[in-house]
Structure 1
Amino acid sequence: MKTYHTSEVAALVGLHPNTIRRYEEWELIPIPPRANNGYRVFTDFHIETIKIAQVAFQIEVLQSGLRIIMVEMVKAVARYDFAEAQALLDRYLELVEKEIANANDVIHVVENILVGKTEEEALCLTRSETAEYLGVTSEALRNWERNGLLAVKRSKNNYRLYDQEDIKRLKIIRTLRSAKYSLAAILRMLNAVEQEKQDIKSLLNPVTPDDSIISACDNLIDSLEKAKINACELKKQVADVQKRFFNNKV
């Protein structure tokens, strides 16, 4: 079996030797054995694991813990747990599809707001029910309220109640926060919609793209679609590595 020194591996994968050592520290590759002279000894499996990591980290998609799932997937490959790696990629794809659906839902919500269309569904939820409905934490709702993104009505017994209009607004906030927009930027974008000074066409082609919720969602969907392509490529790459190094057993 062919072996390599750190500098050789670095040259083959296009990384700095220090990065290769970081991969070892971060458990992204198996710990290489040491030769008698103390040098690390790498194999083709180390190289293929690094290539998997490079593909995994190409797309910076952070929402819903997607980046964390990719890190855990690479670690699973590094410890030869290919079943876990594939399961994590399946979970990743599932979450990506959910985020795409959320972003498309927000586009629909904003377009309906702009044309004055109301939803038939009537909701009246408590904070905990709203958090569960949207898939966020109650603390996130509190934080958004504290920062002026939402003014929630109260019942006679002083409990906060969220209606359909609140849910629409919260869907927008949730998706934009997932896309890593600041609270200040989200407030500005929400205010632009509420003032109704822009029609749908100008929102789709804004002078300042960051002020458009629809453009933000379109950009998010584009990133998520690229993440899907990456994940599908990784599923094949992981399967190929398993076949190559472990006697064609899948």
Structure 2
Amino acid sequence: MNTYTTSEIADLIGIHPNTVRLYEELELIPKPKRNPNGYRIFNDFHIEQFKFARTALKIEVTQRGLRKNAIEIVRTSANKDFDKAISLVSHYLQQLEIEKSNAEEAINIVKEILNGNTQETDKLFLTRKETSEYLKVTIDTLRNWEMNGLLKVKRKQNGYRVYTDEDIKRLKIINSLRSANYSLSAILRMLNALSCNPNANIKNIIDTPKDDDEIISVCDKLITSLKEAEYNAKSMKSHLQSMKEQFS
């Protein structure tokens, strides 16, 4: 089996030498042997494990412990427990499928709400406390949505906020999308687009950040990110089978 120095590994994988050491600290690769002078000695398995880890962690999906599970898969592979790692990838794929389904379902719920196919409260006005209880979210959550521009709430003459039927409808949309882990910026992008064009394609808008958005997270393009993570997971499974044959 071929051997490599830290700098050679870094060049082959296309990462900084400090990243090589970080992978070792995080137990994403096996601990390398050392020369008498203390320099690390890597081998062909390390190269494949580096490639595997980079595939596994390329898309940072964090909801429902997905990121944590991806790291567990990588560490299991680093210990050459390939059968267990393959089993974990199968479970990971199932989780991704569930999250994709949740994201799609949230879009359908939004469409139903917009089409008036959901039962609204029969009250004309609700207080913040009543709204919180009705939607089963905290008052802090409502306040956070307002601070992020997702909703502008009217006030009575005494200064108290009141939520109308239209506000409740908007809050139901926000709540459904947040439950599926869409980002606040993605939701705001969709709501703004709908205010300009009620017939806009919701799915496309919420999954497509603007070119001038300064910071874009995976939750700003949730469905695309989940699909990419699913594609990577299938590649991981194939890679593990190959590593099992080569290094068991």
Give the counterpart letter for 2:176 in structure 1. K
Give 2:198's aligned residue. 199
Give 1:46's aligned residue. 46
Give 1:105's aligned residue. 105
Q: Which moved more, 1:234-243 or 1:9-18?
A: 9-18
Give 2:19's aligned residue. 19
- Structure-to-structure mapping, 1:19-98, within 5 angstroms: 19-98=19-98
Give 1:115 deviation, angstroms.
1.8
Give 1:173 deviation, angstroms.
2.3
Q: Deviations over 1:96-129 (max 9, x none)?
A: 111111111111111112222237xxxxxxxxxx
CA distance, structure 2, for counterparts of residue 197 and residue 43 of structure 1: 58
- Given that residues 89 and 235 in structure 1 are in contact (C-alpha distance below 8 angstroms), is that contact kept between their aligned partners in structure 2? yes
Matched, 1:237 2:239: yes
CA distance, structure 1, for counterparts of residue 87 and residue 22 of structure 2: 25
Give 1:210 deviation, angstroms.
6.2
Give the counterpart letter for 2:31 in structure 1. I
Secondary structure of the corresponding residue to residue 42 of structure 1 = strand
- Structure-to-structure mapping, 1:205-220, within 5 angstroms: 219-220=221-222
CA distance, structure 2, for counterparts of residue 118 and residue 9 of structure 1: 57
Identity %: 40
- Given that residues 28 and 75 in structure 2 are in contact (C-alpha distance below 8 angstroms), is that contact kept between their aligned partners in structure 1? yes
- Given that residues 45 and 245 in structure 1 are in contact (C-alpha distance below 8 angstroms), is that contact kept between their aligned partners in structure 2? yes
Secondary structure of the corresponding residue to residue 224 of structure 2 = helix
Give the counterpart letter for 1:78 in structure 2. A
Q: Deviations over 1:108-157 (max 9, x none)?
A: 111112222237xxxxxxxxxxxxxxxxxx9x75652564679xxxxxxx
CA distance, structure 1, for counterparts of residue 234 and residue 30 of structure 2: 23
Give 1:123's aligned residue. none
The alignment of Structure 1 onto Structure 2 pairs a total of residues equal to 203
CA distance, structure 1, for counterparts of residue 113 and residue 172 of structure 2: 13
Give the counterpart letter for 2:141 in structure 1. W
CA distance, structure 2, for counterparts of residue 217 and residue 31 of structure 1: 34
CA distance, structure 2, for counterparts of residue 217 and residue 16 of structure 1: 28
Secondary structure of the corresponding residue to residue 112 of structure 2 = helix
- Given that residues 77 and 85 in structure 1 are in contact (C-alpha distance below 8 angstroms), is that contact kept between their aligned partners in structure 2? yes
- Name structure 1 gaps, 5 residues minimum: 120-137, 151-164
CA distance, structure 1, for counterparts of residue 239 and residue 106 of structure 2: 34
Secondary structure of the corresponding residue to residue 41 of structure 1 = strand
TM-score (norm 2): 0.68
CA distance, structure 1, for counterparts of residue 203 and residue 79 of structure 2: 47
- Name structure 2 gaps, 5 residues minimum: 120-135, 152-168, 211-217
- Given that residues 59 and 229 in structure 2 are in contact (C-alpha distance below 8 angstroms), is that contact kept between their aligned partners in structure 1? yes
CA distance, structure 2, for counterparts of residue 218 and residue 205 of structure 1: 11
Give 2:177's aligned residue. 172
